[in-house]
């Protein structure tokens, strides 16, 4: 019963470990944007701007959308997931004379000059790519250890009563590689 309770606790930690604060780095520059869902704020790097309140957050499939307000202008933000670490960030402001959306390619992996030069070399571990996977692997390992405690040891029931089992010796097979006598 204790093991079942421990298993449930680890599962809860695995679900809570899902990142509620995510930083998206621009691929073409050193800027970033941060989305904090626990405090419901959106922070832009640079420009010394204040955190903006996240309104109307909605996640549908691979798209996350929300709005922020600043000085009477409403900014619509969308993150569309393309792969595990790559996203496309769309933003547009209303009311505005221009209806164009700003499109920026972003990633959750920090971009540095070293990363751009050594792009082909994978340096990430599985835990860095997906922290939930590493937690779930740990939970599986603990679960399997617990399962092994309840398995019966089949070798204890057998006894040879002092008998030794020896394999019969046979002459080596001549396949042509051995020298003749």
User: Rounded CA gap, 142 and 10, in Å?
Assistant: 10
Q: What is the pLDDT of residues 126-135, one digit of tens each?
A: 455 566 666 6
* In the chain, where the domains are located: 17-130
Q: Which residues of the chain have pLDDT under 70?
A: 8-19, 46-48, 112-135, 139, 142-143, 145-174, 176-181
Q: What is the pLDDT of residues 49-92, one digit of tens each?
A: 788 889 999 999 999 999 998 888 889 999 999 999 999 999 99
Are 107 and 24 contacting, i.e. CB atoms less than 8 angstroms apart?
yes
Report pTM.
Answer: 0.51
Which ranges in the chain belong to alpha helices (H)? Answer: 2-16, 113-117, 126-129, 131-150
pLDDT of 65 reads: 94
User: Rounded CA gap, 169 and 4, in Å?
Assistant: 52
pLDDT of 67 reads: 93
Are 137 and 17 contacting, i.e. CB atoms less than 8 angstroms apart?
no
pLDDT of 86 reads: 93
């Amino acid at each position: 019963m204790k093991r079942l309770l421990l298993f449930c606790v680890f599962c809860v930690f695995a679900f809570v470990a899902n990142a509620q604060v995510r930083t998206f780095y621009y691929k073409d520059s050193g800027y970033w944007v941060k989305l904090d869902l626990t405090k419901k704020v959106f922070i832009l790097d640079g420009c010394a701007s204040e955190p903006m309140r996240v309104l109307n957050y909605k996640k549908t499939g691979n798209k996350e959308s929300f709005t922020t307000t600043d000085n009477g202008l409403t900014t619509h933000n969308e993150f569309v997931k393309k792969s595990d670490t790559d996203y496309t960030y769309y933003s547009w402001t209303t009311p505005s004379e221009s209806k164009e959306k700003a499109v920026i390619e972003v990633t959750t992996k920090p971009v540095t000059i070293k990363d751009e030069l050594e792009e082909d070399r994978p340096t990430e571990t599985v835990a860095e790519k997906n922290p939930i996977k590493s937690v779930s692997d740990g939970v599986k390992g603990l679960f399997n250890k617990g399962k092994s405690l309840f398995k019966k040891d089949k070798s204890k029931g057998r006894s040879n009563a002092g008998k030794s089992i020896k394999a019969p010796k046979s002459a080596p097979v001549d396949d042509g590689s051995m020298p003749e006598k």
